[in-house]
Amino acid sequence: MSSGRCAACRYLRRRCTQDCILSPYFPSNNPQRFASVHRIYGASNVTKLLQRLPTHLRAEAADSLYFEAQCRLEDPVYGCVGLIFLLQQQIHSAESQLIKTQAEIAVMKSQTQHPQTQPFRAISGSNNLLLQQSDNDANLSFSNQVSSGFI
Amino acid sequence: MSSGRCAACRYLRRRCTQDCILSPYFPSNNPQRFASVHRIYGASNVTKLLQRLPTHLRAEAADSLYFEAQCRLEDPVYGCVGLIFLLQQQIHSAESQLIKTQAEIAVMKSQTQHPQTQPFRAISGSNNLLLQQSDNDANLSFSNQVSSGFI
């Protein structure tokens, strides 16, 4: 028997009124979604947060709260901040690789323009100093991009 | 006059006992840190989360909770999920650039090995099909990396 209550009201064992603020974002067919958010934030905090937002932004907010809640349940120590660290590492790795590749191109171009200096195959390993400098530049460009002084 | 209470107990207007679980992570000289975390999660949820963790992981957990709380206060709709989207875009951009650059190298290498086919300067814009394919590969490699089906 369906009571017609949303997942939140069902979880909280209360009547689900027509103006229930949680109802559109926590449908009865997905009880786990509200259970996760409730466990991390509590129903009162989620309600307050949604109430402060204009209606057209509430669905996105409920989605992002659910995402963060799931991350925190899976990783109680770091939550989705762990994901941010991981992405930062990936960016740094991709950036470093890009700078090395661009340096390789620069060397190849200079070789194409002045082919008499060295044979091509010997060049790719010969500019370690340039690559190290490029690595340092990559480090600088991505430092403090995310932490913003919070942690 | 200092009461010797931690920021949490001071905020909650209660005695701060020797075994206060919040005290090490919310010192009295940083009241805003607890206020942020309290506003998003509530004291009870933060306490429960820390209680479930071994002592040596609690400081990191408190830091990441504070980070997420600050993100949510600054961006009530997306919180730190907004940051994750931003980082994903940066990764995709760096990856695409890397693949294009690697394709450029491949063309230059083939030109160096067979210099009679085309002059160098004409080559860099001539492999659009290859670059488009590389872009698609980059899209594939990073799709679903973070969302993990939560949202």
Residue B16 contacts residue B9 (beta carbons within 8 Å): yes
Q: Does B82 touch chain A (CB under 8 A)?
A: yes
SS (H, E, C) chain A: CCCCCCHHHHHCCCCCCCCCCCCCCCCCCCHHHHHHHHHHHCHHHHHHHHHCCCHHHHHHHHHHHHHHHHHHHHCCCCHHHHHHHHHHHHHHHHHHHHHHHHHHHHHHHHHHHCCCCCCHHHCCCCCHHHHHHHHHHHHHHHCCCCCCCCC
Q: Does B107 touch chain A (CB under 8 A)?
A: no
- Confidence band (pLDDT; 50, 70, 90) for B15? very high
Q: Considering only the beta carbons, identify the residue of B41, B60, B97 that sits closest to A98.
A: B97
Rounded Cα distance between B113 and A67, Å, is: 51
pLDDT, residue B18, reads: 92
For chain B, helix (H) and strand (E) counts, in that order, are: 6, 0
- Model confidence pLDDT, tens digit, residues A62-86: 999 999 999 999 999 999 999 999 9
B79 chain-A contacts, CB cut-off 8 A = 64-65, 68
- Model confidence pLDDT, tens digit, residues B103-116: 888 888 887 777 65
Where are chain B's structural domains? 7-74, 81-142
Question: Cβ neighbours of residue A98 under 8 Å, at least 6 residues apart?
Answer: B94, B97, B98, B101
Percent above pLDDT 70 for chain B: 74
Q: Which helix (H) or strand (E) holds B93?
A: helix B81-113
pLDDT, residue A76, reads: 97
pLDDT, residue B149, reads: 37
- Count, residues in chain A: 151
Residue of A nearest to B59 (CA): A77
Q: Is the pLDDT of residue B123 over 70?
A: no
- Confidence band (pLDDT; 50, 70, 90) for A20? very high
Rounded Cα distance between B88 and A146, Å, is: 12
Q: Is the pLDDT of residue B85 over 60?
A: yes
- Model confidence pLDDT, tens digit, residues A23-61: 999 999 999 999 999 999 999 999 999 999 999 999 999
CA distance A94 to chain B (A): 6
ipTM of the complex: 0.71
Q: Considering only the beta carbons, identify the residue of B41, B53, B88 that sits closest to A77.
A: B53
CA distance A91 to chain B (A): 5
Query: Best mutation site among A64, A112, A143 for testing chain B: the one with the most B CBs within 10 Å?
Result: A64
- Confidence band (pLDDT; 50, 70, 90) for B119? very low
Rounded Cα distance between B126 and B116, Å, is: 16
Q: Does B119 touch chain A (CB under 8 A)?
A: no
Query: Which range is least confidently modeled, A56-60, B15-19, B23-27, B124-128?
Result: B124-128
Q: Considering only the beta carbons, identify the residue of B76, B101, B111 that sits closest to A98.
A: B101
- Confidence band (pLDDT; 50, 70, 90) for B131? very low
Contact A84 B82 (CB under 8 A): no
Q: Is the pLDDT of residue A133 over 50?
A: no
B53 chain-A contacts, CB cut-off 8 A = 76-77
pLDDT, residue B129, reads: 33
- Confidence band (pLDDT; 50, 70, 90) for A91? confident
pLDDT, residue B126, reads: 36
Q: Does A43 touch chain B (CB under 8 A)?
A: no
Rounded to an integer, the average pLDDT of B71-96 is 93
Query: Which range is least confidently modeled, A12-21, A110-119, B1-10, B48-57?
Result: A110-119
The residue among A92, A89, A97, A34 whose CA lies nearest residue A66 is A34
Q: Is the pLDDT of residue B125 over 80?
A: no
DSSP state of B119: -
Rounded to an integer, the average pLDDT of A14-24 is 95
| Average pLDDT, rounded, for chain B | 79
